[in-house]
Amino acid sequence: MPSMTTSRVSRWDQHGREHTVQVSKSGMQRVLVCGTCGWRRTAQFLPWLKAEEHLAGEHQATVDPSEG
């Protein structure tokens, strides 16, 4: 699990391209911005999970570079 200080979620797709969603704090909410397609979304809970869902669903990026 990412720590509470994580400010970005990076995943690689099957072509080895890196996709990153930035997570920034905005009051009570977190704002997610995808660096690949400009997708934006606010989330109050589990922002990293939402970021992972976007990366997997939109970019087929499911490989966590910090794992193996």
Counting residues that bind Zn ion (by CB under 5 A) gives: 5
Q: Tell me which stretch binds Zn ion (CB under 5 A): 6-14, 23-31, 50-58, 60-68.
A: 50-58
DSSP assignments along 5-68, one per residue: T--EEEEE-TTS-EEEEEEEEETTEEEEEETTT--EEEESS-HHHHHHHHHHHHH---B-TT--
Q: According to the binding rule CB under 5 A, does residue 37 interact with Zn ion?
A: yes
The residue among 37 and 46 lying less far from Zn ion, judged by its C-beta, is: 37
User: Shortest gap between Cβ of 4 and Zn ion (angstroms)?
Assistant: 23
Per CB under 5 A, the list member of 31, 36, 41, 64 interacting with Zn ion is 36
